[in-house]
C-alpha cells in the first residue's frame, strides 16, 4: 500500500532529514509535496489530497494546529514531528496518529508509519463495508 504524504515544516533541514529517512526506511511512503508554512500547506493539501501529513507545530505566522483547524473534517492522517514535548495532549485532541520528537529516531518513525498504514486500511475497509451495505 502506498501512502501519499506531505511534509509541513518551516525548517528546510527538518524537511530534508525527514524526507531522506522516509525514502530509506519507509518505502510505502510516497512524498508528494512539502511546505514551509501553514499558508503554503493549505492549498498543497487541497490539491494533493494526501493520506498522511507530517506536521511541525511551531512555525512562524501560524502553527500546525491552526493548519488543521482550516480543514473542518480532514480525512488525512497526521503525525506531528516537533522539538516540543508540551503539545502532546493537544495533538491527541486532533486525533493525531502519532507524535514524534526531534531528533527523529528511525524506529519511532517506522512504528508511526505502520500505525498510519493500519488506520488507513481500516478506513478503507469500513468504507467498503458501508458501500456493500448500501448496495443491498
pLDDT given for residue 96 in this prediction: 97
pLDDT given for residue 4 in this prediction: 99
Enter the DSSP assignment of 28: T
Local confidence pLDDT in tens for the 136 residues of the chain: 899 999 999 999 999 999 999 999 999 999 999 999 999 999 999 999 999 999 999 999 999 999 999 998 899 999 999 999 999 999 999 999 999 999 999 999 999 999 999 999 999 998 888 888 788 7
- CATH number of the domain to which 12 belongs: 3.40.50.2300
Q: Quick check: 68 and 19 in contact, CB under 8 A? A: no
Enter the DSSP assignment of 9: -
* Alpha-helix residue ranges (DSSP H) falling in the chain: 12-25, 38-48, 64-69, 88-93, 106-135
Domain range enclosing 70: 3-135
**Count: domains in the chain:** 1
Amino acid at each position: 500500500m502506498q501512502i501519499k504524504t506531505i511534509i509541513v515544516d518551516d525548517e528546510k533541514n527538518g524537511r530534508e532529514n525527514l524526507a531522506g529517512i522516509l525514502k530509506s526506511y519507509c518505502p510505502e511512503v510516497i512524498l508528494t509535496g512539502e511546505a514551509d508554512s501553514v499558508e503554503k500547506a493549505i492549498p498543497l493539501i487541497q490539491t494533493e489530497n494526501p493520506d498522511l501529513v507530517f506536521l511541525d507545530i511551531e512555525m512562524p505566522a501560524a502553527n500546525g494546529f491552526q493548519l488543521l483547524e482550516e480543514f473542518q473534517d480532514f480525512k488525512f492522517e497526521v503525525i506531528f514531528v516537533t522539538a516540543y514535548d508540551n503539545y502532546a495532549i493537544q495533538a491527541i485532541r486532533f486525533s493525531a496518529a502519532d507524535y514524534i520528537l526531534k531528533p527523529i529516531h528511525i524506529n519511532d518513525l517506522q512504528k508511526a508509519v505502520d500505525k498510519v498504514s493500519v488506520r488507513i486500511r481500516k478506513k478503507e475497509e469500513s468504507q467498503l463495508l458501508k458501500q456493500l451495505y448500501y448496495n443491498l
